[in-house]
Amino acid sequence: MFSGAQVALYPMADDFVRIILGSLSALDPYRERFRIETDDLSTLLVGPTEQLFPAMRDLHVAAARDGVHCVLHATVSRGCPGEPDDPICTPIQGRAANTPLAQRIVSALAAVTGAATTGQHVGAQLSLYPLGAAHHMDEIYGCIDFMKRSGVFERSKNFCTTLRGDAGPVFATLGEAFLRFGSPEGHVALDLTVSANSPTAA
Q: Give all domains of the chain, ordered by start, each with its CATH number.
A: 3-196 (3.30.70.930)
Q: Do residues 62 and 122 lie in contact, with contact meaning Cβ atoms separated by under 8 Å? A: no
- 19 Cβ partners below 8 Å, 6+ apart? 9, 11, 13, 63, 66, 68, 70
Q: In this predicted structure, what is the pLDDT of residue 133? A: 59
Q: In this predicted structure, what is the pLDDT of residue 158? A: 87
Q: In this predicted structure, what is the pLDDT of residue 136? A: 82
Residue range 69-93, pLDDT digits in tens: 999 999 999 887 666 656 677 666 6
Q: In this predicted structure, what is the pLDDT of residue 97? A: 62
What's the pTM value of the predicted model, to 2 decimals? 0.92
Q: In this predicted structure, what is the pLDDT of residue 98? A: 74
Q: In this predicted structure, what is the pLDDT of residue 68? A: 95
Strands 3-11 vs 70-78: parallel, antiparallel or unpaired: antiparallel
Q: In this predicted structure, what is the pLDDT of residue 151? A: 95
CA distance 73 to 193: 4
DSSP state of 25: G
Extract the residue ranges of the chain whose pLDDT is less than 70.
Answer: 1, 81-87, 90-97, 132-134, 201-202
Q: In this predicted structure, what is the pLDDT of residue 94? A: 62
Q: How far apart are the first and last CA of the chain?
A: 38
